[in-house]
Amino acid sequence: MLTTLLLLASGPAWPTPRADTTIHRYRVELSVRSEVDLVALGMPMQIQEQAAVGFLTITLADSAGGKAMLARIDSATFSAGDLPLPPDVAAQAKGTTFIGYLDAAGKLQNLTASSENPVAGMIESLLGDFFPRLPTGEQGPWRDTVNLATSVNGGRMRTEVITEYAAAGSEEFHGEPALKLTAAFTTVMEGTMETPAGEAGMRGAGSGTGNYYISRGRSFLGGSRTTTQQSDISMAMAPAPIPVKTTTVLVVAPIR
């Protein structure tokens, strides 16, 4: 089914990708809204909102049946809300590089970053599940599982993302013919993070949906996704776990 849709369009068959190095530039917009229930501490609900916009250059070079990836943050802006982060944290993220290996199905492996900057850490967590997975051969809906380990607010977070993909026909995206993929996510996460009151444990689960767009040359053009996660934060000063609802919206667009 996927191969058939890639060949459909108002024109000739889509070309086979060249075996070389390609450069892709993206605008990445991320917004995160957290609703923190502080009833256990005798306090009202707290709303935290963060937003980041980054411009990325990603270079992909043929390597062992997949692609060696080098990504760089060209620039970034960040609004931290009430979080105690320095005002120049986004500027300091500029120039951060990420390396990894993108296999033939679009799964990124061995991802490492050159900086522990908090904004760079947000980009790193996105890159781990940035590219949609493509099946090999013709088939119906397909499933993929990704396990991520990222640095978050001075701690480490482990996340498992299970995605159900389906091909949804041809559609124009930012002026370019594309194959549209729909996606449904389920997530499970666990880890630690630093807070003003010390280290806290965090665990939770969530779900979401998204759309991805693939060019005629089978490169990733962009898309969007929204996920909602229910988590519990455990810390020494709280008599009971603190519930947190987090909604994350990601929008990726190509830069021409």
Closest CA relative to residue 211, chosen from 246, 161, 250, 177: 250
Distance from CA of residue 211 to its chain's centroid?
13
The low-confidence residues of the chain, meaning pLDDT below 50, are 1-18
Residue 231: domain span: 2-254
Kindly report the pTM of this predicted structure.
Answer: 0.81
For residue 34, what are the CA distances in angstroms to 110, 129, 148, 184?
29, 21, 21, 21
- d(CA 174, CA 64) in angstroms, rounded, equals 32
Instruction: Determine the pLDDT at residue 6.
Output: 40
- d(CA 89, CA 91) in angstroms, rounded, equals 6
Instruction: Determine the pLDDT at residue 194.
Output: 77
Instruction: Determine the pLDDT at residue 255.
Output: 94
Neighbours of 213 (CB within 10 A): 24
- d(CA 22, CA 130) in angstroms, rounded, equals 17
Instruction: Determine the pLDDT at residue 84.
Output: 58
User: Tokens 């449904």 identify what position?
Assistant: 184
Tokens of 63: 């390597």
Going by the DSSP 8-state scheme, the letter that residue 123 receives in this structure is H
- d(CA 246, CA 238) in angstroms, rounded, equals 20
Distance from CA of residue 228 to its chain's centroid?
14
Instruction: Determine the pLDDT at residue 40.
Output: 79
Domain count, the chain: 1
Tokens of 107: 């799964």
Closest CA relative to residue 72, chosen from 97, 52, 50: 97
